[in-house]
Structure 1
Amino acid sequence: MHFSSKALLRVAALAVVATSLGGCSFMGLNFGMAQLSEKECLMRAMYFESNRSSSEGMLAVGTVVMNRLNDPRYPKSVCGVVGQKNQFAQGVLSKKMTDSGAVLAAQMADQVLAGARHPGVQNAQHFHTAGLRFPYNNMHYVLEAGGNEFYEKY
């Protein structure tokens, strides 16, 4: 099979663009996520999804991630859970962490990966912004922490 130099340049350019998409998807392939460690994925979820100054809120978000990890309906890795489409903040795996909350998130991620859990979260696998309440019969609220309401679904 013979490829023209133009075709090879296009393929090379496409590969460069695809691999620079950090956390994005191209033609169904995820780029960037494989470069992140489980700790980095967890700390990013905690950083972007909670009040960055609240260790309690970060611990609660980390507990939700681990609760999902232990459920066969969710991906089998922390990065898979955090990177699941429409589940966590947009850009959670690619945005820059720009303040001191990243240090706290790293510390809290270490604790969660070592087995720490927020007892108030219980078995909750879901949360949304605090101050909102939905009257659905299949939701049981268990905790408010770090600017979020945590709930179990029946």
Structure 2
Amino acid sequence: MRIRKKAAAVALSLAALSTLSGCTSLFGGLFGARNPHECMTRVMYFESNRSSPDGMLAVGTVVMNRVGSHHFPSDVCSVVGQKNQFASGVLTRKMTEPRSLQLASQMAQRVLRGERHPGVQDAMYFHTAGLSFPYRNMHYVLVAGGNAFYARR
């Protein structure tokens, strides 16, 4: 009986703490649970030119295009966490630039509320701008935030 009460108290305490501002990242790091806003913020922070709202919006649009596709996982964190799809450590590395983090957080909120970059269209891929590949099935639609966005045809 004592063990159950203690376990219930610990669970209640953790639930209460996780609602405090700023604790999502702490608990995400400890327990692996993340929310869509944090995952979207992280992918925008690490994948775009950290000062480009346009680039962040484009990256977020690609993530949401993937969420809506049957070829990818159906939630933001699973898409962002897919192996070899985004920057290494995107869900675990420290975000150290406060201004860029604030901008990424704001842009993540906008994307999660439904805003999309019109230039991205149905693209689900991007790579660093300036790189070139010999593939003929890459239809480029936009360059933003240091990335070239494309759809496979």
Q: Could you say which TM-score interval applies, normalised by the shorter chain?
A: 0.7 to 0.9
List 4+ stretches of structure 1 deviating above 3 A.
Answer: 20-23
Distance 2:115 2:106 in 1: 11
Alpha-carbon offset, residue 124 of structure 1: 0.4
Alpha-carbon offset, residue 21 of structure 1: 10
Q: Is there any run of 5+ residues in structure 1 with no aligned partner, and where?
A: 1-19, 24-30
Kindly tell me the number of residue pairs found equivalent between the two proteins: 126
User: Does residue 55 of structure 2 align to residue 60 of structure 1?
Assistant: no
Alpha-carbon offset, residue 136 of structure 1: 1.1
Instruction: Report the aligned-residue RMSD.
Output: 1.6
Distance 2:45 2:95 in 1: 8
Matches within 5 A, 1:23-102: 32=32, 35-99=33-97, 100-102=99-101
SS at match of 2:38: helix
TM-score by length of 1: 0.78
Distance 2:90 2:107 in 1: 17
TM-score by length of 2: 0.79
Higher helix proportion? 2
Q: Is there any run of 5+ residues in structure 2 with no aligned partner, and where?
A: 1-26
Alpha-carbon offset, residue 70 of structure 1: 0.2
Which string of whole-angstrom CA distances, capped at 9 and with x for unpartnered residues, describes residues 54-103 of structure 1? Answer: 00000000000000000011011100000000000010001111111000
